[in-house]
Amino acid sequence: MRQKITWNAFLIAILMSVSVFGQNTELIWLPVFSYSWEQTEQLGFDASASAFNSLSNLDNSLAIKFIETALIASYATSPKIKLGLGYLHRFATPLIEGYQYEHRLLENISFSSFFGDKKIGHRFVLEQRFRTNKYENRVRYRLSHKFSVGEETAGTFLKLENELLNSFNSESFKGENRFKIAYSKSLKNKKEIEIGIQHRTLNLFTDFDLGQIVLLSTKFSLSK
């Protein structure tokens, strides 16, 4: 019963987000496939592929904004701390004539702490973004927490995340905030599915008007 109530509440949150922001906000669907494996007890890898689909532009060439592939290696220095190094390739605006790209290098550190009896996740990321017509650095900090949805639903979680991003180069500086709520379910044979809703606030710390994106994410993960 508790699982059903939580799932219904999650669906209501999605519908409310779309109805509140849908009139003046871009709507995005982001499907993700992820495959991860452990090379050793400390060293692991995660490979992923995703597509950024604009539901607000299904009738024009911006329907698919970009397609991404990424590979990230992580090394556990302790049970609570992981260091990461990765590469991401973005094929931008594939439906528009002319090749646009982004090559991205990233370095991250993730660790956990406790607030009372609640486990809180922290992640810092540095990114070097080599894009078609410019270079950009980005710093990211994510705060997250997940909790089990009842003892009778082992492997079922509700996740809360908030991430602040700052992008900069020699010419500009801008910020972005991303808040996400997601529902995940572990399946047999090390599989996991996740559905989430994320709200992004754009153009922070600039003279531009704030932009907004409501993003529906669906993720299928497989681990070895």
Digit-coded pLDDT (tens) for 173-211: 999 999 999 999 999 889 999 999 999 999 999 988 889
Least confident among 7-11, 187-191, 215-219: 7-11
Residue type, 158: L
For residues 1 and 54, give the distance between their C-alpha atoms in angstroms, rounded to a whole number: 35
For residues 141 and 177, give the distance between their C-alpha atoms in angstroms, rounded to a whole number: 10
* Residue 167, token pair as written in the block: 């992008």
Per-residue b or e along 47-77, where b marks 16 or more CB atoms closer than 10 Å to that residue's CB: ebebbbbbebbeeeeeebbbbbebebebebe
Identify any residues that bridge with 41 across adjacent strands, giving them in sequence order. none
Residue 148 has pLDDT above 90, yes or no: no
- Give the mean model confidence (pLDDT) for residues 12-32: 68
| pLDDT tens-digit series, residues 49-77 | 999 999 989 989 889 999 999 999 999 99
What is residue 224's DSSP assignment?
-
Residue 118 has pLDDT above 50, yes or no: yes
For residues 213 and 35, give the distance between their C-alpha atoms in angstroms, rounded to a whole number: 27
Report the pLDDT value the prediction gives residue 38, as an integer from 0 to 100. Answer: 95
Q: What confidence tier does 117 reach under pLDDT thresholds 50, 70, 90?
A: confident
Residue 16 has pLDDT above 70, yes or no: no
Residue 157 has pLDDT above 70, yes or no: yes
Residue 133 has pLDDT above 80, yes or no: yes
pTM of the model: 0.86
Q: What confidence tier does 24 reach under pLDDT thresholds 50, 70, 90?
A: low
The angle at the Cα of 103, spanning 217 to 200, to the nearest 5 degrees, equals 35
Considering only CA atoms, which of 77, 106, 84 is closest in space to residue 165? 106
CA terminus-to-terminus distance, the chain: 32
Strands 100-115 and 211-223: unpaired
